[in-house]
Amino acid sequence: MNEPFRIAIAGLGTVGRGVVKILQSQPELIRARAGRPVEITAVNARNKSADRGVDLSSYEWVGDPLALAGHDKVDCVLELIGGSDGVAKDLVEAALDNGKHVVTANKALLAHHGLELAQKAEDKGVSLNYEAAVAGGIPIIKSLREGLAANKVKGIYGILNGTCNYILTEMRETGRDFNDVLKDAQDRGYAEADPSFDVGGIDAAHKLALLTALGFGVKPNFDGLSIEGIESITADDIRFADELGYRIKLIGMARCLGGKVFQIMAPCLVPTASALGSVEGVFNAVFVEADPVDKTMAEGRGAGEGPTASAVVADVMDLARGITLPTFGVRASELKDAPWADLSDITAQHYIHLKVLDQPGVIADISAVLRDHQISIESLVQRGRDPQRAVSVVMVTHESGAKAVQDAVADIAKIPSMVDKPTVLRIEHI
């Protein structure tokens, strides 16, 4: 087929510019692999006169992004604006309503409205592709939706936010604390001016909600996700974890527990020598355990112009080839409402870091609380000796109920010699 596949791009920021660059620099490779040329016909952005370092003169400039949704020379709309609502949502809905395929990098939009949009795409016989929305350049959506389609997924574990992984890596390598490294990351342009979505785990949780839906055939459930960020991780925690043979990583986990699905975003300890323990800096990684394939892992850059645009263009090429798939791997009407598991359904070893006044009987008090909650200790170390000031007590539990550990630590926090809020992190032997 030589008929060109015609796309419109809404949003010419880092990702949009990257898409234009790929399509301009290697049209022949894309034509050969897609089986037909891919052509940009129209573009839109907020500021027409900005210098983006790419030549846009041969494309129609459309002032209103919504006009792209009904454009008669467009087969597919690329929504690269961002945001869970507003113009991005309006554009995607309108494009699907008009029978146009949509490719988006917008994890927030899909985490909040994925089910309705998937249904709309299906009703109109078009595709809603979003490879770039999860882990940037890593083809994890294709992997789960196609490559692993014959498997029953048991667990998905991901490092899904490069900013957090960079901060945690930098804290470990330099011994600096969270705020210091965050400021440095902002100065270097790695972290956003408002980094709360990144360091608070929200951005990664948007991505996890999509992976959970795809992996387990359930409706995306961002609102039901337990989310904890990395803001309270200290340089001491990172050092203690290191001494114990672990790295602290922000891990998005989705697991099948009996008939239930459990999903959580939280910092965890993973063995230093494990697959995820060795993923450092801005890199993302997704580890999938499934039957019968067993364990697979993919690692790569989760953000930036090249990796994200690579994923967007791959989605476009699939559509140009005529490949259309249900958004979450099965028809929207077949996506289940889980049932969802919660903390009381999971067990794990835990790392507990307490700051206590070093007085006689403190350890006995802590032990009594753990005994009452049926929690057994694998190891305990106390660092420092100063009756006037707080010292660190670090414990690693044996495999214990996560809810029981949470309740026990809430009780330990009430012991009078306790100083500061305890830190509790799951240990995941992935």
Return the residue of 161, 221, 263, 327 that touches ligand HSE, per CB under 6 A: 161
Q: At closest approach, how far in Å is the CB of 288 from ligand HSE?
A: 19
Other CB atoms within 10 Å distance of the CB of residue 387: 9
Give the tokens for residue 92.
């995607």
CA geometry: angle at 347 spanning 351 and 286, to 5°? Answer: 80
Q: At closest approach, how far in Å is the CB of 303 from ligand HSE?
A: 4
Residues touching ligand HSE, count (CB under 6 A): 7
Find where tokens 């008929």 sit. Answer: 3
Catalytic residue status for 295: no
Of 9-17, 79-87, 156-164, 402-410, which part binds ligand HSE (CB under 6 A)? 156-164
Cβ closest to ligand HSE, residue 106 vs residue 423 = 106
**d(C-alpha 429, C-alpha 268), whole Å:** 10
Q: Is 79 one of the binding residues for ligand HSE (CB under 6 A)?
A: no
Q: Is 170 one of the binding residues for ligand HSE (CB under 6 A)?
A: no
Cβ closest to ligand HSE, residue 53 vs residue 189 = 189
207 closest CA partner among 353, 109, 298? 109
Q: At closest approach, how far in Å is the CB of 380 from ligand HSE?
A: 36
Task: Check 107, 120, 207, 355 and give the catalytic one.
Answer: 207
Q: Is 163 one of the binding residues for ligand HSE (CB under 6 A)?
A: yes
Burial class (CB within 10 angstroms; exposed 0-12, middle 13-18, buried 19+) of 224? middle
Q: At closest approach, how far in Å is the CB of 302 from ligand HSE?
A: 4
**d(C-alpha 120, C-alpha 116), whole Å:** 6
Instruction: State the binding string over 200-239 for ligand HSE (x if CB under 6 A, else -).
Output: ---x------------------------------------
Q: At closest approach, how far in Å is the CB of 187 from ligand HSE?
A: 16
Return the residue of 79, 198, 315, 318 that touches ligand HSE, per CB under 6 A: 198
134 closest CA partner among 203, 197, 67, 68? 203
Q: Is 88 one of the binding residues for ligand HSE (CB under 6 A)?
A: no
Cβ closest to ligand HSE, residue 205 vs residue 261 = 205
Q: Is 132 one of the binding residues for ligand HSE (CB under 6 A)?
A: no
Q: Is 162 one of the binding residues for ligand HSE (CB under 6 A)?
A: yes
Instruction: State the binding string over 293-312 for ligand HSE (x if CB under 6 A, else -).
Output: ---------xx---------
131 closest CA partner among 92, 101, 159, 105? 105
Q: At closest approach, how far in Å is the CB of 282 from ligand HSE?
A: 7
Cβ closest to ligand HSE, residue 131 vs residue 203 = 203
Q: Give the residue numbers annotated as catalytic, written as ranges.
A: 207
Question: Which residues are near ligand HSE by CB under 6 A?
Answer: 161-163, 198, 203, 302-303
